[in-house]
Structure 1
């Protein structure tokens, strides 16, 4: 029986710094956030789900040597352990439901029609302005959490361009630091999953509800 992985060694210090920034953003939205870690070969994938966006966020990092790892841990404990090129793997926690349903390992194909980063960032800014305008226009008796949530769902469920990618996925990519000015982007599809990929991370979303979900341990994407 293979001994569990106790520590991870990054290829360089920048990998740890970038992962720290990602974890800090996740914790901003959920102080009790959990992340699923998967390592295969010389790469680590960290999966998280910021609740405000209802998407799956993925950050990868290069490791100095190959390891095999699949564990769900507390994001805060993982962040605390990041202080250099080597980190201790925190104790496993009982993972939330989303951690058992990850995007497939392979079968991704690039989809056409994705606007460039500047246009997508502009679409997010327009949507934020619309939400604020509609929120401010609500009469006092309708200014409730439920009504604001309804407006938000309507706005952020809209597709970006002709792609079918919901605007909330683009908003998440920008808020998590993935979608930056001038960066190359790609839209990938595999089954019922869509994935917005940038050099700084990916955001994945299911497009067909919860039907037919498979729970499989997949390798980093």
Structure 2
């Protein structure tokens, strides 16, 4: 495994440190650092189904950064280990030493498609933020302090697994049977964009674009990308 990643500029490495700090507030399941050529893709799990029968959508956060030169890296490592290395670096540093040990976690094997994405719609960042905050409040209200893990998971599945509402279908599919059967963007995607601070500031009229490829949805916002796949429908 490549011993380190060399970023194109110090600001890109500092931005990655901020991204990792936000990801640690959500989970401690690691980060996948995937470099193909001169671009680094940093993946983090926002939420992933814990079993085959879970109704929780798969939601991944993605932040990209330019590297100084092409590299080939695909390593899933602990967030804490990366944080420790970042803490030792000065503000002008551009090289990030990678932890020597890797994680083997199911979410890292979930790879959204790289191509074939079709434009679907746009949505206001404020609408995404409102959806995320409403879901957080609903979960806090529904889950008592003494609730067990199974109860918490059930509530999270109910809140984040629902769609954000009827999104407008692409013009090419307006009025077609295919358009009527299209599912909406999982509310968990809104939570991811909000929690990772990908959205424009409240009231700034920011907008995010939505693309779709098969069962996957991609939310492209000012600060990064959210990839979401709804749980399969039950028969």
Aligned to 2:106: 97
Aligned to 2:66: 62
Give the TM-score normalised by the residue count of structure 2.
Answer: 0.75
Aligned to 1:152: 156
Shift of 1:69: 1.3
Shift of 1:115: 2.3
- 1:66 is paired with a residue whose SS is strand
Aligned structure 1 segments of 4 or more residues deviating by more than 6 angstroms: none
Aligned to 1:171: 191
Aligned to 2:37: 41
Aligned to 1:215: none
**Contact preservation (8 Å) 2:123, 2:207:** no
**Match runs of 1:134-149 below 5 Å:** 134-135=142-143, 144-145=147-148, 146-149=150-153
- 1:49 is paired with a residue whose SS is strand
Aligned residue pairs total 200
Cα RMSD (Å) of the superposition?
Answer: 2.5
Measured against aligned partners, the alpha-carbon deviations of 1:4-60 in whole angstroms (never above 9, x if no partner) come to 4222111222211111111112222334x3221111121100111134885111111
Aligned to 1:209: 232
Unaligned runs of 5+ in 2: 49-55, 168-183
